[in-house]
Amino acid sequence: MAFYLKNPRNIINNLKSKVGLWSLMKQSHSTCCYSSCLNTIHLHRFLPLTTLPQFTNPESISHKKGHFPHFQRFQSTTTEKQIDSVPNDEHNQVLDFPGGKVVFSPEMRFLSESPSVYSQCYRVLDDAGQLISHSNFVPVSEEVAVKMYSNMVTLQTLDTIFYEAQRQGRISFYVTSIGEEAINIASAAALTSDDIVFPQYREPGVLLWRGFTLQEFANQCFGNKADYGKGRQMPIHYGSNKLNYFTVSSTIATQIPHAVGAAYSLKMDKKDACAVTYFGDGGTSEGDFHAAMNFAAVTESPVIFICRNNGWAISTPTSDQFRSDGIAVRGQAYGVRSIRVDGNDALAMYSAVRSARQMAVNEHRPILIEAVTYRVGHHSTSDDSTKYRPADEIEWWRMARDPVTRFRKWIEINGWWGSEAESQLRSSIRSQIAERAEKPPVNDLFTDVYDNIPSNLREQEKLLKETINRHPKDYPADVPI
């Protein structure tokens, strides 16, 4: 469709002035201002975000809780001198581009593929459990510290019991958290019960902290009748609606964008809570991680990403996964505040997660935490990690860098723990687990999907029961038909 314009030149000139194009043709010499996105944190140094422009119209963006920034695409498009960085160079100018300020330079300079200085790793306790001088951390009461240690020991014992049960053929599969107890328990202690957790499969300690009993763990792993999944899931795929803990999914990284969506919902509902998702270093090689990071940054969703960088994605070392300086720097690339933490230091993990939660909820922003640790156990009971890494390396991490031992030394230094309490704790844990329990009936295989079970499923149920009756020795005798 064509239009006849009586005075096209006047119309075009007027349009240019409206959208700010004249300012591109007539170089403005106004001062370029920036607003810093990095709030000073007295506890640790989070990697800063990319510098954001200061909008010419203060009403065009709101930082109030629950409000979204409204960007007016052409309102502040101007060309300015970069006075701060190049005060005397007329060639260096800044374009207030719709996607952010762009600094022009006559010098051709490529961004380096690796940083000259590696990201610092925040820690509070040294390997001997001593406080590092001048360290900043969130204070922990005696009650919380003792509960943290007790839960770490319980998690260790739980892993030993179920790992042995799998080796004896009593359960089909298991995944341990050996070497990563501090990440589990300390992060859980720093959250609130209203925060929604999207786990991978190595975070049972979060459930343990929230009140999931040892018998509930056993019910899931052994497929007992009391299992909330009615025995349909493979072992270690825990879940609890009551405890705001989404059911574990085997597929890698799918929980990460789910957490961002839940966080966005919490923000829209003005809830005083955040979403938290856990994943390994291998998960960051999935597209879901990158999509979730960008989505969280753009929507300013209150979500905490906790990456367990334990050095291995099953048998693939991090050196074969990426060339970046770990995981934390990826957050900065997406505009997400990030920090690298010693994942074997429970006090550092607690402080980092506690501070991250405060920022996520109060400022409506995503936070990425890279917890540097080591997977002491095999990837799962289907894996033999000595085939791809030396046994002496595993043993060194087990003995010299054990997070449970390090935290015990600290609470003993404070006079909060002793050998008698240690003996009582360890002897009481095993008595809390009863493996033998009634199994769910065969009927439960066909329920909870359809309101009215269709005829094809009824036919399958009938055939299964007939097969069990004909070959009873091939099926568990303790499963009711």
Q: What's residue 60's pLDDT?
A: 37
Tens-digit pLDDT profile for residues 59-75 = 333 444 444 443 333 34
Lowest mean pLDDT among 29-43, 110-124, 305-319, 464-478: 29-43
Is 301 marked active-site? no
Lowest mean pLDDT among 108-112, 186-190, 229-233, 422-426: 108-112
Residue of 164, 395, 459, 466 marked active site: 164
Q: Which amino acid is at 78?
A: T
Which residue, among 91, 117, 101, has the nearest Cα to 51 in the 3D structure? 101
Is 172 marked active-site? no
Task: Give me the residue spans of the domains in the chain.
Answer: 142-431, 442-471
- The mean pLDDT value for 18-43 works out to 38
- Tokens describing residue 409: 């030394």
| Residue scoring higher pLDDT (226 or 82) | 226
Residue of 250, 315, 423, 428 marked active site: 250
Residue of 44, 237, 378, 379 marked active site: 379
Tens-digit pLDDT profile for residues 322-351 = 989 999 999 999 999 999 999 999 999 999
Percent of the chain past pLDDT 70, that is, above it, reads 81
* Cα dihedral sign, 160-162-168-173: negative
Tens-digit pLDDT profile for residues 171-209 = 999 999 999 999 999 999 999 999 999 999 999 999 999
**Neighbouring residues of 447: CB distance < 8 A, sequence distance ≥ 6:** 453
How far CA 452 is from CA of 441, 446, 456, 458, in Å, comes to 19, 11, 12, 10
Q: Which amino acid is at 359?
A: M
Determine the topology of domain 142-431 in CATH.
Answer: Rossmann fold (3.40.50)
- Tokens describing residue 185: 């328990």
Q: Would you say residue 35 has pLDDT above 70?
A: no
Residue 86: pLDDT band with limits 50, 70, 90: very low
Is 164 marked active-site? yes
Q: What's residue 105's pLDDT?
A: 84
Q: Which amino acid is at 380?
A: S
Query: CA-to-CA distance for 307 and 330, rounded, in angstroms?
Result: 12
Is 250 marked active-site? yes
